[in-house]
Amino acid sequence: MENKQEDSFKKLMQRVEPDKPGADFVNAIMKRVQVESELDPAKEAALIQLLQAHTLAEKPSTDFSRRVMNQLTVSPPKPLAPIIRPGVWYMMAASVLFIILSCVLLLPSGPVQPASSGLDHFLSGLAGTLDALPISYPLTIFAVSILVVVDYILRRNLIANY
């Protein structure tokens, strides 16, 4: 159906011939331009007379602009609110603490090597249980830390610019 409409439109465009202006077309346009150009000085003179007839009777005093500027009130700047609310910070801290506690409580109870210290045992056990966590936990912590850094940078730049 669309092709049919396009074909009929093309045929119609081929049949239509461009307009042929009359012989005096250019002369008629030029006459209109001349009439308009002759009216412009008359309109301008009338406008000047109108403005001169309605001028201000009194001039503003010298301290007019100072008085106007003194009446303007400046609104205090808005305090900058952090992008991440404090409640979100508490939730992030709680989730990190939960992950660390779950890793500590789920430490494998394997034999302790006598040469290793308690910190080495804790860190190796922590690494072992972190491997058992779903990948979404570390990715979430990473994404939230990126948001924290961006929030810090934006607040620092906004405070420095004001």
Question: What stretch of H or E contains 49?
Answer: helix 25-53
Q: What is the CA radius of gyration of the chain?
A: 41
What whole-number distance in Å separates Cα of residue 111 and Cα of residue 11? Answer: 93
Q: What is the pLDDT along the chain (162 residues), one digit of tens a residue?
A: 678 888 888 887 777 776 777 778 888 888 888 888 777 787 888 888 887 777 766 777 778 888 888 888 777 777 777 777 778 878 888 887 887 777 667 655 555 555 556 666 666 666 666 666 677 777 887 888 888 888 878 877 776 665
What whole-number distance in Å separates Cα of residue 56 and Cα of residue 42? Answer: 24
